[in-house]
Structure 1
Amino acid sequence: MGLARCGKMPRSTLMTDELNQLRREVARLRRDLDHVLRVIGQEEKLPEQPRPPFLLLDAEVISIRHSSDKMPILLKAEEGYACIYLNDNEGRARGLFQVDEAGSARFEIWNKDQEVVVSIGETKDGAGEIFVAAADGKPRAGLKAHELGGIVSAQNSAGQTNVLMLGKDQGGTFVVADGQGRPVAEITTVDGDGVVSIKGKAGYQMAYMGCDENRGVIAVLGKEGEQAAALTSNEKGGMLVFFDPKGEPKATLPK
């Protein structure tokens, strides 16, 4: 009987241990609550203490919700890569801001079918570029800076460039292409003078209009680019010149 009584822990000791354990758990819960209040910006409910200089959230993915089933913002980080997704009410990503492994930043806008319709980013040379796509995601227009100057382009549904506009230090150039992307017309500057060039399907120049400080000229060429006729002027007035197959003048009006 005496041995049995010695094997049992006094009831008062058990109650003391349980009470101490509860005190430790309450203290831990208070610390956790204080941390949560700081994170959600409710510091006025805490004793006076300095605001931390920054908030460190050690996680690869952070989601921001406004309800249990709506997550409009998602932050994601991987080695050498970081991005922010902006989602609609259906949970579809509609905007993406990212920095890739090379350190280049890009912002994309996606439509409801998850096609990229706008892309704003950085070229390999460190310049800026903007691309706009149709609803099917095919690029249709672009704006970028190049070492030659600023470039604006427009493409057809097959991805062929139909219009190209280039601005450079020497002047501007405007190029029009056919459905296969072959240039057929060009407006540009040469030594400060304006030039218009028309090309055929074979790529040869078929017509030309230009000027210098003294006169203007309109030229018509053959199917392989050989000169056929020219309308120009001299000190006596307008003049029309006809050329033989070798490109030599053979007749002039007026004579």
Structure 2
Amino acid sequence: MSDELNQLRREVARLRRDLDHVLRVIGQEEKLPEQPRPPFLLLDAEVISIRHSSDKMPILLKAEEGYACIYLNDNEGRARGLFQVDDEGSARFEIWNKDQEVVVSIGETKEGAGEIFVASADGKPRAGLKAHELGGIVSAQNSAGQTNVLMLGKDQGGTFVVADAQGRPVAEIATVDGEGIVSIKGKAGYQMAYMGCDENRGVIAVLGKEGEQAAALTSNEKGGTLVFFDPKGEPRASLPK
């Protein structure tokens, strides 16, 4: 008799669970008996996987000493997103393409500032945005990893640098003491042309390959002046005379 009673109790409990499931499916949760809600859920494990079928695991949580991460997987089981906190306490979110290359990375630097990197399909960084002690930095790289464009925002003003395929700066726009300047460099790294101004005049200068001045166009209250220099940088002629 006791065994039959226990069997009946188990059957009733199973029927109640089945009924609760049916009520949730048809949207009749309000008819479920009220149950105390636990204040928190504690899962004591190093790896926790969330499945929606026997062979599909879209979410995986992993915890180790000083490290925690969440993987987001696609239907093929490939990791496509990663949110992690490393052993130094830095947080980072990464997006991976189907070839498992990191194409977007959002995180923090060792100094605690923010940074964003965007990569091409082969995982090579092509653009970046970060905060540095010098200011805000935006950069763009070519396929070889050389920086071709750099923009820096500082308290004193901004700087915009353009580089060649090897990463050598060839043009720069900047502010110096509140005034704007433009500098053009040759392949050897020497400044070949310059444009600047102050509160009284504007200047355009053309330089030789060794940096010596070859010609200059300036303006003042009387108009413009064009000056020509010899190979030693000494003025030789001017217009108007």
TM-score, normalised with respect to structure 1: 0.82
Shift in CA distance, 245/126, structure 1 to aligned 2, threshold 3 Å: same
Q: Deviations over 1:38-81 (max 9, x none)?
A: 99999989975532110001111111111111111011111111
Q: Distance in 2 between matches of 1:238 and 1:110?
A: 58
The CA deviation at 1:193 is: 1.2
Cα–Cα, structure 1 residues 36 and 80, in superposed 2: closer, same or farther, change >3 Å? farther
**Is 231-240 or 111-120 further displaced after alignment?**
231-240
Return the offset for 1:214.
Answer: 1.3
Between 131-140 and 18-27, the greater mean CA deviation after superposition = 18-27
- Paired positions, count: 241
Distance 1:67 1:31 in 2: 21
Q: Structure 1's 109 and 46: CA in aligned 2 closer, same or farther, altered over 3 A? A: same
Query: Structure 1 residue 132: deviation in Å?
Result: 0.2
User: Does the residue aligned with 1:71 lie in a helix, a strand or coil?
Assistant: coil
Which of the pair has more CA radius of gyration?
1
Tell me how far apart the structure 2 counterparts of residues 70 and 76 of structure 1 sit (CA, whole Å): 17
2:123 corresponds to 1:145: no
Measured on the aligned residues, the alpha-carbon RMSD in Å equals 3.6
Task: Check 1:191–1:28 CA distance in 2 against 1; reply closer, same or farther (3 A cut).
Answer: same
Deviation at 1:225, TM superposition (A): 0.8
Shift of 1:26: 11
TM-superposed CA distance for 1:234, in Å, is: 2.8
- After superposition, the C-alpha distances for 1:108-154 in whole angstroms (9 at most, x for unaligned) are 00000000000000001100000000000000000000111110000
Cα distance between partner residues in 2 of 1:202 and 1:154: 22
Secondary structure at the residue paired with 1:26?
helix
Would you say 1:134 and 2:123 are equivalent positions? no
Whole-angstrom CA distance in 2 between matches of 1:171 and 1:20: 81
Q: 1:66 to 1:24 in 2, by over 3 A?
A: closer
Distance in 2, matches of 1:17 and 1:59, equals: 37
Give the unaligned 5+ runs of structure 2. none
Distance 1:63 1:42 in 2: 29
Cα 1:45–1:83, aligned 2, differ >3 Å: closer, same or farther? farther
Residues 191 and 18 of structure 1: CA distance in aligned 2, closer, same or farther (over 3 Å): same
Within the alignment, does 1:214 sit opposite 2:200 as a pair?
yes
More divergent stretch after superposition (27-36 vs 166-175): 27-36
The C-alpha deviation readout for 1:213-255, integer Å capped at 9, x for no partner, is: 1111100000011111101123321111112233222221111
Following superposition, the deviation at residue 25 of structure 1 comes to 13
Alpha-carbon offset, residue 204 of structure 1? 0.8
Closer, same or farther in 2 for the Cα pair 1:34/1:103, shift >3 Å? farther
* Mapped partners of 1:103, 1:19: distance in 2: 56
Distance 1:67 1:27, change over 3 A: closer
**Matched-pair identity in %:** 95
Distance 1:41 1:76 in 2: 33
For structure 1, list consecutive stretches of 5 or more residues without a partner in the other structure.
Answer: 1-14
Matched with 1:117 is 103
Q: CA separation of 1:37/1:106 partners in 2, compared to 1, >3 Å: closer, same or farther? A: farther
Aligned in 2, Cα 1:166/1:39: closer, same or farther, shift over 3 Å? farther
CA separation in 1, counterparts of 2:114 and 2:211? 39
Q: 1:20 to 1:232 in 2, by over 3 A?
A: closer
